[in-house]
Structure 1
Amino acid sequence: MGAEFQMNTQFSAGIQAMLPLLYAAWADRHLNLKEINAIRKRAASLPFLDETDKAVLLEWSDPARPPERELFQQWQTMGRNAAEQLPEDRAASLAELGVILGHAAEGNAEDRQQFWVDQLPVLTELELGLGGVEETTYRGLFPLYDQRKKLTESIEEATVDPAALQAVLDGKYAGTIARVKEILQRPSFERNMLPVKEDFRELVLAWCKELGEEGIGALAFDEEYGGEDDMGAYAAAFETLGYHDLSMTIKFGVQFGLWGGAVANLGTKRHHDKYLTATGKLDLPGCFAMTETGHGSNVRGLETTAVYDHDTKELIVHSPSVGAGKEYIGNAMHSKMAAVFCQLIVGGESKGVHAVVVPLRDAEHNTLPGIRVEDNGYKLGLNGVDNGRIWFTRVRVPVENLLDKFGGISAEGTYHSEIENPSRRFFTMLGTLVGGRVCVPRAGMSAAKSALAIAVRYGLRRRQFAADPLKAETIILDYPNQQRRLIPLVAKAYATQFGLDYLLERYVNRSEEDMREIEAMAAGLKSYATWFTTAAIQECREATGGKGYLRENRFADLKADSDIFTTFEGDNTVLMQLVAKSLLSDFKKSFKEDGNFAVLKYMGRRMTTIVTEQNPISIRQTDREHLTSRAFYQSAFEFRSRRLTSTLAQRLQAYIKGGMNSYEAGLRCQTHMIEAAEAYVEALVLEKSLERVDALGKNHPTYAVLKKCVQLYALHTIEGHRGWYLESDYIAGNKSKAIRKAVDVLCAELRPEAGALVNGFGIPDKLLGAPIAL
């Protein structure tokens, strides 16, 4: 007992046993008469003190001679070191520390151990004789005890119940989310740090297989194929998986969302009957072979071909070059089948990109003739996902393998489609697969929420520095800078979640007329949310210092596994350009349809903004009521989005009038396009957050806290763009400073709610996993 830590050999065993009591007696910097009498009276009869010890004790209990600061701090350090040896089931008492210190000073001699245990009642009596010890004293000596207590207190002092917040976030999918969490906490889902990718992949495959057997993978499929025909429930399940392991989440998404989704959404009933039931149970592993080495995000430019041979009624799938190989294909090493996206050629004429089901392996898992698969090897993260490259050398498959919902080949060998325009047909096909962009950011947000929960909970437990070295150190989340780092991210996580929930609702209830808007919305929110995930996890890692750098505390995996989210399911930069193009189309369409009325409306809005928002009084108004009012921050978001879109349109028009083609003009304005898209997404997130909070009603137990979160999200975002707002004369310098101060105040006001807000994410401790957060 005590061999693991260093004692001060200048002190005898008896004096070391008394040090916690002396520390407590002097903790308020002076001894009262009751404490003096208690210590001196009992010291005279203590069997473990010799005459020299008693003399030292009398000297150190002299109220006229307080101990030197260095000596007092030495007592505290020794006490804290001893407290680290205190078993969790033992009381946090000064007497217990005295036993540990006294025994440690004598070494490990067995004949001394029982002696010090026998002295525990004597030391306990002395502790009681002090007449009660201040809580700050215990905080100074028992850091681990204090951490446990402080975390509980931090949740209890909040004005909102985490369960009420979780109910808001889970919404109508609470049952599905709870069911998935129950599965993930089974012993079979125990996390193991497997450094060899093949071992890790087998574990992830087993996890996905169990999820398939439980019916989770088939949630979006029709009931006749084992599903529930509920895309919303599937998305909620996918998001929940992100709390456990992202390799599992992505492999799950590839198997059931991409491969299964391609069959379900691009195929017809014969494909559904043949593949979906087995796919949903993971009896038929499949992959989604779209991306090529040479073309990346340019799906329209894919080189892989599927040439129709009418004589044999077969499609010949071929990779004409090394660069035409399918790249980074998830599930490539485990799959039996692939949905291969290729240029369909019928009668010597290209009909654009279509998907063809191509068998990859036989029953013994050997690759079939004409198929070459290579492992992508180790990656930055997601090493539980078996990514690979695939090439096809004149592989023949029956024409029935063409997923022909939007275009097929007749018995006579001619191509037919209900969508005559090739461009519209291409985008309609891809639009059915937008579910990936709806789901991926939700899993990314699970990673961000996990990081925030770990960092905030650690911030409520960890202490660092103190103004008074004789008092307890400061909880790090009480530092304004730590609040500034984490609390706006928590607020943004709630706001972004509300935006993603709106996107999911629109996608689940979509009509054909809505799809172009939904695709743009999905592209923008996917980019915005996954960029946020990357930034939030990094900030949380830094906010937890060296502890966050330990792999056991999960930031290593959260960072590495989520990093790819910014570039798969569409590179974020490319997606934001698509959003900007959609905004320009809508802008142009409004002018074309409304003619002169649109011009008058546009000019009228500009004049209204100048009069009501950009007048000398408004741009300098700094009172809190104004800054935290919806009228201010929502108008500011809308102004930014509107102005960036209109000036982008004007710049492009000017370049084209000057002789540039539209492609060159687009390159000149590329950064402007991305900024306009970001402004659109931020305005959307704010609008949907406000609607979500309004729908709760003012009497809802979470209303006040969530309203304040939205205010913080809004002002913190405006603060981040303050340079643009200053350049645009929307705010003056004094207002910019006032916004910064308002953010500080909101962070401080939400500080008591921080623990409840992250617990409101509803992440079970077993899934959160990080020791520093438990």
Structure 2
Amino acid sequence: MGADFQMNTNLSPGIQAMLPLLYAAWADRHLNLKEIHALRKKANTLAFLTEADKKELMEWTDPVRPPARELFQQWQTMGRNAAEMLPPDRKASLAELSAILGHNAEGNAADRAAFWDQQINPLTELELGLGGINETTYRGLFPRFDQREKLVEAVRDATVNPAEFQAVLDGEHADTIARVKEILLRPAFERKTLRIKEEYRDQVLEWCKILGQEGIGAMAFPEEYGGEDDMGSYAAAFETLAYHDLSMTIKFGVQFGLWGGAVANLGTKRHHDKYLRETGTLELPGCFAMTETGHGSNVRGLETTAVYDHETRELIVHSPSVAAGKEYIGNAMHSKVAAVFCQLIVGGESKGVHAVVVPIRDEEHNTLPGVRVVDNGYKLGLNGVDNGRLWFTRVRVPVENLLDKFGGINAAGDYESEIENPSRRFFTMLGTLVGGRVCVPRAGMSAAKSALAIAVRYGLRRRQFAADPLKAETIIMDYPNQQRRLIPLVAKAYAVQFGLDYLLERYVNRSEKDMREIEAMAAGLKSYATWFATAAIQECREATGGKGYLAENRFADLKADTDIFTTFEGDNNVLMQLVAKSLLTEFSKSFKEDGNFAMLKFISRRVSTIVTEQNPYAIRQTDRAHLTSRAFYQQAFDFRARRLTSTLAQRLRAYVKDGKSSHEASLLCQTHMIAAAEAYVESLCLEHSLKRVDALESGQTKSVLKKTIQLYALHTIESHAGWYLESDYIAGVKSKAIRKAVDVLCAELRYEVGALVNGFGIPDELLGAPIAL
């Protein structure tokens, strides 16, 4: 340990051990006779000092030859660095610093401990001989002396116990979350640095097998197949896994959520009987083969075919081109079977995209004839996930392998489905798989929460700069800019989580008529949450400086592993356009159903907004009571969502009237569509955040969360200030007042932010970063 602090290689370990004592003795710029006598007398008895050390020490205790200022500050720096390394069970004393700086860092742990203990007693006597040091000097060496106990500084000034926030976030799934954390804290889940992908993949597979054996993977499956028939608990487990390792989380999701979900949601009882139980325990590893190299998010355009051969009652699965290869398939290298999405051809006619179970390996794990598997190799992140590419060359499987819940082939060889409309059948099938978009953003948020917890904890203990070099430096979270960088992100994390919780509740309790709305909601929240995660992790990395750049502090992996979240389960930009189209459909539907009444209602609302929200007084109102009132920020969110949707509809209609096709019109309005979708999601998050806070009993927890959501609201309005100014919803003076109000809220929440991030409930062992512990 001491070797880390040997800044001047000309100093022996013995002299370095004496530096904290020398610093304290010289701190008032003058050594008195008592200090000189104590230092010199005791130094002669110290076994670890050589004769040369003692001679040098005599020179440095000469009152007529004080150390140069630069040397004195170097002693202080070395002492402060040593103070950073003090173990939690050690007292913050000069003797402890001396032992750290002087002991042999190269011996084994037992030798170091013995050496440390041997030095402590004589060094402590020497410290006492100095007669104590004043508070300023003490703080100069121990700027964090009142922060030694774990998390004390982080929550020292908070008014709410972090457990109260955790109870709000965990909600009805608290038991499941606790159960998964207990499993992850076992020795078998010790986090290792495995840079060779094969080793990392094997470790992730072993972890997933344990989770399968513990029943975590099968939670959403019916009870008769070893599950709990509880999609809510499965989603809660999934997000909790993301606190540990994201490769494990994604492989878990592929095995149990995608492959298992395809069988459970698209198959019928015979498929459930054959596959589900072994899928839930991971005795049968499977993969989900939908995306193709040439078509990406365009599922309807998939090229892979499954041609029905009535003579043999088989389906012939075939990849007609290189571009038809299934791309980025998770679990591809470990799987024995695949749910392959392809164009079903019956009697020479396409019946649309369906899923077929195709065996890809035998019991010895050899690739089966007609199946080609290629490893995707190393990626930017998630290298513990075995992604691969799949091609099929006229692979025959029994017709019973068709997952035929929504459409199948009867004994006569004819296609039949209860859903006659092909388009409705396609969207109904995809709607059953929306669970992936419900779960993925929850994992992304877990990564963002981890980053925020690390950055905020570090910000509450790290000090930097002071007017007087001998006084304690400023905690960096006390700097307004640091508050501005991190605290709004914490507020947004809470708001997005509340929005995701509402989505999960709707999905778990869904009915068929709700599915279009839920699909749009899932697409929007998945995009919004994963964009937020990548941005928040980057900001947290920068906010922790060089320490955040170290791999041990986890930002490297968090950044790399979540980067793909913005493009899997659907590219975010594509998904947001789907959200906008859904908004337009609902907008148009309301006019068709209500006719003239809808038009009158629309005009009336616009007039009302102009009178009450856009009048000359309202757009210039700047008092805090108004800006932090629910009436203001909720109306501002609603206005943006309504206006962007209505103007989008008007623009599209104008382009179509001008002779453009609907596709051309959509391309011309693409950025407008994404903005409208974003406004919809932000309104959703705000609405359900307010409902969650309203549901709490009155008290400090409710009060702090109310202020947290106020910050989310005002910071979001501030981020769209240009649009609000262009729309004459706020004037310049009000825009400035909003910015100041955000500053004030950040300052007020500075004393709660430690408790807010600890309220995420991430155990230290899972958080892992040394700078956060």
Does TM, normalized by the shorter one, top 0.5? yes
Which residue pairs with 1:713 in the alignment? 712
Tell me the CA shift for residue 39 of structure 1. Answer: 3.9
How many Å apart are 1:452 and its aligned residue? 0.7
User: What CA distance in whole angstroms lies between the structure 1 residues aligned with 2:102 and 2:260?
Assistant: 67
Q: Equivalent of 1:120, from 111, 119, 123? A: 123
Q: Provide Cα deviations, 1:79-135, integer angstroms capped at 9, x if missing partner.
A: 33554676664432124446777999xxx9xxx9999766435324335x34x642x
Cα distance in 1 for partners of 2:772, 2:117 equals 37
Q: 1:246 is matched with which residue?
A: 246
CA shift in 2, pair 1:468/1:315, >3 Å: same
Contact 1:244 1:768 in 2 (8 A): yes
Distance in 1, matches of 2:741 and 2:144, equals: 35
Query: Which amino acid in the other structure matches residue 382 of structure 1?
Result: L
* One-letter code aligned to 2:166: Q
- 1:446 is matched with 446
Contact 1:341 1:356 survives alignment (8 Å): yes
Query: Shift of the alpha carbon at 1:67?
Result: 8.4
Change in Cα spacing, 1:198 to 1:85, as seen in structure 2 (3 Å) is: closer
Alignment-derived partner of residue 49 in structure 2: none
Matched with 2:749 is: 750
Tell me the alpha carbon deviations over residues 560-611 of structure 1, each in whole angstroms, 9 at most, x when there is no partner.
Answer: 1111110010110000000000000011011111111111111111111111
Give a deviation string over 1:607-656, Cα, whole Å, max 9, x none. 11111111111111111111111111110000000000000000011111
Matches within 5 A, 1:434-583: 434-583=434-583
- Provide the C-alpha distance between the structure 1 equivalents of 2:717 and 2:183, rounded to a whole number of angstroms: 42
Aligned equivalents of 1:564, 1:764: Cα separation in 2: 25
C-alpha change, 1:546 and 1:347, in structure 2 (3 Å) is same
Helix, strand or coil at the partner of 1:487: helix
Cα-Cα RMSD? 2.8
- Percent identical residues: 79
SS at match of 1:595: helix
In structure 2, do the counterparts of structure 1 residues 522 and 48 end up closer, same or farther at CA, with 3 Å as the change threshold?
Answer: same
Match of 2:358 in 1: 358
Question: For the residues of structure 2 that align with 1:396 and 1:378, how far apart are their CA atoms?
Answer: 32
The equivalences for 1:359-378 within 5 A come to: 359-378=359-378
TM-score normalized with structure 2 length: 0.92
Q: 1:720 to 1:94 in 2, by over 3 A?
A: same
Deviation of 1:156 after TM superposition, in Å, equals: 2.8
> 1:12, 1:199 → 2: CA distance?
43
Q: What amino acid sits opposite 1:641 in the alignment? A: A
Of the structure 1 ranges 502-511 and 154-163, higher mean CA displacement relative to structure 2 is found in 154-163
Residue 760 (1) aligns with residue 763 (2): no
Q: d(CA) in 1 for partners of 2:398 and 2:624?
A: 69
CA contact (8 A) 1:151 1:460 kept: no
Counterparts of 1:7 and 1:389, CA distance in 2: 52
Alignment partners' CA distance in 2, 1:545 and 1:227: 45
Displacement, 1:387? Answer: 0.9
- Note if 1:189 corresponds to 2:192: no
Q: Which moved more, 1:643-652 or 1:373-382?
A: 373-382
Query: Aligned residue for 1:169?
Result: 169
Counterpart amino acid of 1:628? T
Partner of 1:408: 408
> What letter corresponds to residue 288 of structure 2 in structure 1?
F
Residue 139 (structure 2) aligns with: 139
**Aligned 8 A contact 2:143 2:472 in 1:** no
Give the aligned residue type for 1:704.
S
Q: Deviations over 1:377-399 (max 9, x none)?
A: 11111111111111111111111
Distance in 1 separating the partners of 2:150 and 2:477? 12
Q: Is the Cα contact below 8 Å between 2:402 and 2:408 reproduced in 1?
A: yes
Q: Please give the alpha-carbon distance, in whole angstroms, between the structure 1 residues aligned to 2:9 and 2:555.
A: 41
| 2-structure distance, mates of 1:317, 1:672 | 41
Aligned equivalent of 1:417: 417
Partner of 2:728: 729
The equivalences for 1:681-692 within 5 A come to: 681-692=681-692
1:455–1:202 CA distance, 2 compared to 1 (3 A): same
Q: Which residue of 1 aligns with 2:738?
A: 739
Find the residue that maps to 2:350 and give its secondary structure. strand
Tell me the amino acid that sits aligned with residue 270 of structure 1.
R
Q: CA deviation at 1:137?
A: 3.4
Matches of 2:189 and 2:513 in 1, distance apart?
42
Alignment-mate amino acid for residue 725 of structure 2: L
Please state how far the C-alpha of 1:154 moved relative to its aligned partner: 2.7
Distance 1:145 1:388 in 2: 52
Could you tell me how far apart the structure 1 residues matched to 2:59 and 2:291 are? 82
Partner AA of 2:270 in structure 1: R
**Long gaps (5+) in structure 1:** none
Closer, same or farther: CA 602–237 of 1 in aligned 2, 3 Å: same
Offset, 1:266: 0.5
Residue correspondence of structure 1 range 13-162 to structure 2 within 5 A: 20=20, 23-24=23-24, 39=35, 48=44, 59=63, 70=70, 72-80=72-80, 83=83, 89-97=89-97, 119-127=122-130, 129-130=131-132, 133-134=134-135, 136-142=136-142, 148-149=148-149, 151-162=151-162
1:501-541 superposed Cα distances (whole Å, 9 cap, x missing partner): 00000000000111010000000000000000110111111
Q: Write the deviation string for residues 326-349 of structure 1: whole angstroms up to 9, x where unpaired.
A: 111111111111111111111111
> CA distance change for structure 1 residues 414 and 115 in 2, over 3 Å: closer, same or farther?
closer
Taking a change above 3 Å as real, the CA distance of residues 468 and 606 of structure 1, as seen in their structure-2 partners, is same
Q: Unaligned regions of 5+ residues in structure 2, if any? A: 46-53, 105-110
1:679 matched to which residue of 2?
Answer: 679
- Partners of 1:241 and 1:248 within 8 A in 2: yes
Of the structure 1 ranges 112-121 and 449-458, higher mean CA displacement relative to structure 2 is found in 112-121
SS of alignment partner, residue 80 of structure 1: helix
> What TM-score comes out, normalization by structure 1 length?
0.92
The SS at the match of 1:293 is coil
Deviation at 1:204, TM superposition (A): 0.8
The aligned residue for residue 107 of structure 2 is none
Distance in structure 1 (CA, Å) of the matches to 2:420 and 2:118: 94
Counterpart residue type for residue 626 of structure 1: H
Distance across 1 between alignment mates of 2:84 and 2:524: 49
The aligned counterpart of 1:644 is 644
Determine helix, strand or coil for the equivalent of 1:331: coil
User: How far apart in 2 are the matches of 1:173 and 1:44?
Assistant: 65
Q: 2-side partners of 1:607 and 1:18: how far apart?
A: 78
Contact 2:38 2:126 in 1 (8 A): no
* One-letter identity of the residue aligned with 1:765: D
In structure 2, give the amino acid aligned to 1:773. Answer: A
Instruction: State the alpha-carbon separation in 1 of the partners of residues 579 and 102 from structure 2.
Output: 70
Counterpart of 2:608, as a letter, is T
Give the partner amino acid of 2:708: C
Letter in 2 for 1:455: A
**Bigger mean CA deviation after superposition, 379-388 or 36-45:** 36-45
1:543-575 per-residue CA deviation (whole Å, 9 max, x = no partner) reads: 111111111111111111111110010110000
Deviation of 1:372 (Å): 1.0
Q: Residue deviations 1:22-41, cap 9 Å, x none?
A: 654776x699xxx9686478
Distance 1:249 1:14 in 2: 50
